[in-house]
Structure 1
Amino acid sequence: MAMECTRCGACCVAPDIAALDKPLGMRCPHLTADNLCSVYERRPDVCRAYQADDVCRLIDAPTLEERVGKYLALFELTEEARAIRQSGCSSMRKARHG
């Protein structure tokens, strides 16, 4: 079920985004400090197609960090994201094949 976007930024941090070579759990380089997209008019199709949904409700939390943690836990990706962060890998391709 679609819902209005709260502009929390979780969808720009938690999932990997192949079109941007952004790894799982890493902040998109285009996400500003106020959690808005700095390339909004030029964002990739995958970002344009994204619609806020029930997952947004399930991961509701006071902070972006907590939302991302809930997202990763919901999809059982916490350990994978932790390994990527610890490796310091800023490229999705390197994270998957490194």
Structure 2
Amino acid sequence: MECTRCGACCVAPDIAALDKPLGMRCPHLTPENLCSVYDRRPQVCRSYEPDEVCKLIEAPTLEERVQKYLALFGLSAEAEATRQTGCASMRQARGTKP
């Protein structure tokens, strides 16, 4: 499966290598849903391969795709709590020390 560059994988999951919390937009994701550090992106991003989840979360907007992703994995409430508290980092959202 080929990447559609929808941006959902850069928003929905938490990304420890970037200290990016669940449901929060990666700071390196451009308005065009492209990676601004593509050549230097962490290994977890490099090894990501589009799969059936990409098809399951298809939707017209990034917000809708993210919501579908979070619901698919039962993470909607956790992501909403993270958004409500405005956590700037994954460590802060998880309540762990650096």
TM-score (norm 1): 0.97
Aligned-pair identity in percent equals: 78
User: Hey, what does 2:52 align to over in structure 1?
Assistant: 54
Q: Does 1:31 align with 2:40?
A: no
For 1:41, what is the secondary structure of its paired residue? helix
Deviations 1:31-81 (A, max 9, x none): 000000000000000000000000000000000000000000000000000
Count of residue pairs brought into register by the alignment: 96
TM-score (norm 2): 0.97
Structure 2 residue runs without a partner (length 5+): none
**Structure 1 residue ranges (4+ consecutive) displaced by more than 6 angstroms after TM superposition:** none
Task: Please provide the CA RMSD for this pair.
Answer: 0.7
User: Hey, what does 1:9 align to over in structure 2?
Assistant: 7
Structure 1 residue runs without a partner (length 5+): none
**How far has the Cα of 1:27 moved from its partner?**
0.1
